[in-house]
């Protein structure tokens, strides 16, 4: 934006001139690239997804011209069934990023400060700025092992958001710790962002019935291999879902298109495929961790489809650059505390082996 003049800037809303937007992981188009930088699933979605989209196409002449159901009721029903909650407990959005944005607007525009960890999903500070609450945000440091300090979340606040498993650390918090946070904050909304929960952590959806201040957010982008589709959802008690619906209907009435609804429904209906695939990713993760530790890497204990690893003998930024030169991209965050770590998405066993071989033979030899 360096080519925009001060004079042209007069057209922008003053608060927008101050925004510092999120930067998504790159999506380069390079031959034979091994893309381990944006936590996508190495496996395709359920074959039923393709059938469901084919069924929409078979009626395309009748249906594409018509708006989708603004409530995406069929999708809410499929999610409710799979999550073992009522349809009134489900909110859906155009990817969990949109759901999170609506969550910030619905619950976090408060006089008291919003709490979240110093090392977490880097979109949270962006939402805070977007909704004008960044000066009221209180950033709480993880401990030296990159763990959330539960007692820190027992101070006065206007809302709490915790990624679980956390990103990019990959470390999961148990449900008893989450219950401690919920119980300590009966008057503020506690959001558990579970983008990576299906790779081995415990979901707080089991606590929704018990806690009127809990919102759980999930996505189809990772464990359902549907990053290309943009469907995320939240589970909470109806009085919280209602706030999200008010926000959504004040922003965009029809956020999810007909293909995305049909495809996501098919995915939620295929529980067997979902479980088998996640188990494969988990097994591959455990193998990869062993290989990396053998090479001297320090790997944080992961319950996600990525690991957070550092090599004491080599600068992480340099390592990322050298991997890239060999056609492997991983995510490197040049930020305080974590600038000696790489976030590496779990690939197939074959892909992980390529990473290990490249490190062993080409970079660390």
> What sign results for the dihedral spanned by CA atoms 19, 217, 86, 188?
negative
How many whole angstroms separate alpha carbon 265 and alpha carbon 261? 6
Question: Which residues in 151-210 contact a copy of itself (CB under 8 A)?
Answer: 187-189
Please identify which residue in 34, 90, 126, 338 interacts with a copy of itself, judged by CB under 8 A. Answer: 126
Contact window for a copy of itself (CB under 8 A) among 12-20, 146-154, 295-303, 317-325: 12-20
| Cα angle value 264/265/266 (rounded, 5°) | 90
Sheet containing 342-345, strands listed edge to edge, beginning at the edge strand earlier in sequence:
34-36, 328-332, 342-345, 306-310, 298-299
User: Is 64 near a copy of itself (CB under 8 A)?
Assistant: yes
Contact window for a copy of itself (CB under 8 A) among 100-108, 136-144, 145-153, 343-351: 100-108
Question: Which CB atom, from 103 or from 320, has the smaller least distance to a copy of itself?
Answer: 103
User: Is 316 near a copy of itself (CB under 8 A)?
Assistant: no
Please identify which residue in 81, 184, 259, 324 interacts with a copy of itself, judged by CB under 8 A. Answer: 259
Contact window for a copy of itself (CB under 8 A) among 127-135, 290-298, 315-323, 331-339: 127-135
User: Is 113 near a copy of itself (CB under 8 A)?
Assistant: no
Question: Which CB atom, from 27 or from 279, has the smaller least distance to a copy of itself?
Answer: 27
Contact window for a copy of itself (CB under 8 A) among 105-113, 164-172, 194-202, 347-355: 105-113
Nearest Cα residue to 120 out of 181, 40, 196: 196
The residue whose two tokens read 């002449």 is: 61
Q: How far is the CB of 31 from a copy of itself (least distance, A)?
A: 14
User: Is 256 near a copy of itself (CB under 8 A)?
Assistant: yes
Neighbouring C-beta atoms of residue 324, cutoff 10 Å: 16
User: Is 260 near a copy of itself (CB under 8 A)?
Assistant: yes
User: Is 66 near a copy of itself (CB under 8 A)?
Assistant: yes
Please identify which residue in 42, 117, 165, 200 interacts with a copy of itself, judged by CB under 8 A. Answer: 42
Question: Which residues in 129-148 contact a copy of itself (CB under 8 A)?
Answer: 129-130
As to burial, measured by CB atoms within 10 angstroms (0-12 exposed, 13-18 middle, 19+ buried), residue 97 is buried
User: Is 251 near a copy of itself (CB under 8 A)?
Assistant: yes
User: Is 240 near a copy of itself (CB under 8 A)?
Assistant: yes
User: Is 116 near a copy of itself (CB under 8 A)?
Assistant: no
User: Is 331 near a copy of itself (CB under 8 A)?
Assistant: no
How many whole angstroms separate alpha carbon 201 and alpha carbon 198? 6
């Amino acid at each position: 934006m360096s080519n925009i003049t001060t004079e042209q800037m007069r057209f922008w809303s003053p608060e927008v001139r101050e925004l510092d937007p999120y930067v998504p992981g790159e999506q380069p188009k390079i031959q034979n690239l091994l893309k381990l930088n944006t936590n996508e699933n190495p496996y395709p979605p359920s074959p039923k997804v393709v059938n469901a989209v084919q069924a929409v196409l078979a009626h395309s002449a009748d249906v594409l011209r018509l708006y989708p159901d603004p409530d995406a009721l069929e999708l809410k029903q499929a999610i409710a069934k799979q999550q073992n909650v009522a349809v009134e407990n489900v909110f859906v959005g155009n990817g969990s990023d949109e759901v999170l944005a609506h969550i910030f607007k619905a619950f976090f525009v408060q006089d008291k400060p919003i709490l979240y960890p110093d090392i977490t999903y880097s979109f949270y500070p962006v939402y805070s700025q977007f909704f004008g609450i960044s000066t009221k945000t209180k950033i709480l440091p993880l401990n030296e092992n990159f763990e959330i300090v539960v007692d820190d979340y027992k101070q006065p606040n206007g809302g709490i958001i915790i990624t679980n498993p956390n990103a990019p650390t990959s470390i999961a918090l148990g449900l008893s710790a989450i219950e401690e946070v919920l119980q300590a904050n009966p008057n503020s909304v506690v959001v558990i962002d579970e983008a990576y929960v299906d790779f081995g952590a415990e979901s707080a959806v089991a606590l929704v019935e018990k806690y009127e201040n809990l919102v759980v957010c999930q996505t189809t982008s990772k464990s359902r291999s549907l990053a290309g589709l943009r469907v995320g959802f939240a589970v909470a008690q109806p009085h919280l879902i209602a706030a999200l619906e008010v926000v959504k209907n004040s922003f965009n009435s029809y956020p999810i298109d007909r293909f995305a609804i049909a495809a996501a429904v098919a995915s939620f209906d295929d529980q067997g495929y979902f479980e088998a695939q996640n188990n494969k990713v988990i097994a591959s993760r455990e193998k990869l961790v062993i290989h990396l530790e053998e090479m001297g890497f320090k790997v944080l204990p992961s319950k996600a489809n990525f690991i957070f690893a550092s090599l004491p003998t080599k600068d992480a930024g340099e390592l990322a650059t050298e991997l890239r030169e060999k056609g492997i991209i991983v995510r490197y965050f040049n930020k305080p505390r974590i600038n000696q770590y790489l976030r590496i998405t779990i690939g197939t066993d074959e892909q992980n082996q390529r990473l290990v071989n490249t490190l062993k033979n080409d970079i660390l030899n």
